[in-house]
């Protein structure tokens, strides 16, 4: 069985690696540069960042230094960043995209996501959030059409937010990135994304680390002689769900990308499926107007 990276074809026609390097809470130039180098050396070609992670400039240093060293062309990289909630709005979003491009030292981003459905500083229930989302999306559509954003998408959108966006957009989102793991499967969102050709991508695949000690996960890991993290990531990618696990540990980085040389049997997939309880370990966007 193969051990090379699977890709998913986005509705733009572009291929995106199904496993990427997550960089949430990855801070400090030395650690960022070291982690990105290790990841590139191991075969990662997708890096997921965001304006609010405040590490875009350090990622740029790593890319500039190590892409030539490992003979990696720009067109073989897939770089994602995200709009900070404070930058929701037409003009604000346009300026924010250009700032992220400058920070990352890039001419274009492979994917750019609206990080959160609400605008920072506003109450969740404030109806003006809807108009800000709409204006933001128009800005991203223009930057997409201008070639600065190869694909655009959203993060932390609920079914309601997605239906609203699909009702007015000129360009459909290519990706929805949201919390997803056996205890929070978001089946209605997966189904909606499938209907509209939107790739469903998970963050917090390990339940912020809580699920690696779940008995069902541990028993499955023992059965396949794999780590609990590999079991949770394999469960997602076997369903075609993208993942962006974050680690600074070289062994974990290696393990996280080696999930293509084994397959979970249906009964084991079913056992993990049965854990769904609607458990959020991160933020719940349900109450954002």
**Residues noted as catalytic:** 53
What per-residue confidence (pLDDT) applies to 121?
A: 75
**Which has the closest alpha carbon to 82: 154, 27, 146, 26?**
154
**Which has the closest alpha carbon to 235: 213, 266, 214?**
266
Look up the pTM and report it. Answer: 0.96
What per-residue confidence (pLDDT) applies to 3?
A: 60
What residues in the chain have per-residue pLDDT under 50? Answer: 1
The position carrying tokens 């999930």 is 259
What per-residue confidence (pLDDT) applies to 127?
A: 84
What per-residue confidence (pLDDT) applies to 2?
A: 55
Determine if residue 5 is left, alpha or beta; phi over 0 gives left, psi from -120 to 50 gives alpha, anything else beta.
beta
What's CA 74's distance to the chain center, in Å? 19
- CA 8/CA 30 separation, integer angstroms: 32
What per-residue confidence (pLDDT) applies to 288?
A: 85
Contact 234, 206 (CB under 8 A): no
What per-residue confidence (pLDDT) applies to 118?
A: 86
């Amino acid at each position: 069985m193969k051990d090379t990276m699977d890709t998913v074809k986005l509705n733009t026609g572009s291929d995106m690696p199904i496993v990427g390097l997550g960089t949430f809470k990855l801070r400090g130039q030395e650690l960022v540069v070291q982690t990105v180098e290790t990841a590139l050396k191991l075969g990662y070609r997708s890096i997921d960042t965001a304006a609010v992670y405040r590490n875009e400039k350090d990622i740029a240093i790593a890319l500039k230094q190590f892409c030539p060293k490992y003979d990696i062309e720009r067109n073989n990289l897939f770089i994602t960043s995200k709009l900070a909630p404070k930058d929701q709005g037409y003009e604000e979003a346009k300026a924010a995209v250009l700032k992220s491009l400058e920070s990352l030292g890039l001419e274009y981003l492979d994917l750019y996501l609206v990080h959160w459905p609400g605008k920072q500083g506003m109450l969740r229930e404030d109806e003006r959030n809807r108009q800000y989302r709409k204006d933001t999306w128009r800005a991203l559509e223009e930057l997409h059409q201008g070639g600065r954003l190869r694909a655009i998408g959203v993060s932390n959108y609920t079914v309601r937010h997605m239906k609203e966006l699909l009702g007015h957009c000129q360009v459909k989102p290519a990706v929805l990135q949201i919390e997803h793991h056996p205890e929070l499967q978001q089946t209605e969102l997966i189904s909606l994304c499938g209907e509209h050709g939107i790739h469903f991508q998970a963050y917090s695949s390990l339940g912020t680390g809580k699920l690696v000690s779940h008995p069902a996960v541990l028993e499955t890991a023992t059965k396949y002689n794999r780590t609990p993290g590999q079991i949770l990531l394999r469960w997602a990618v076997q369903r075609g769900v993208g993942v962006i696990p974050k680690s600074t540990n070289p062994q974990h980085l290696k393990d996280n990308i080696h999930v293509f040389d084994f397959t979970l049997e249906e009964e084991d997939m079913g056992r993990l499926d049965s854990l769904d309880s609607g458990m959020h370990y991160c933020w719940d966007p349900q109450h954002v107007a």
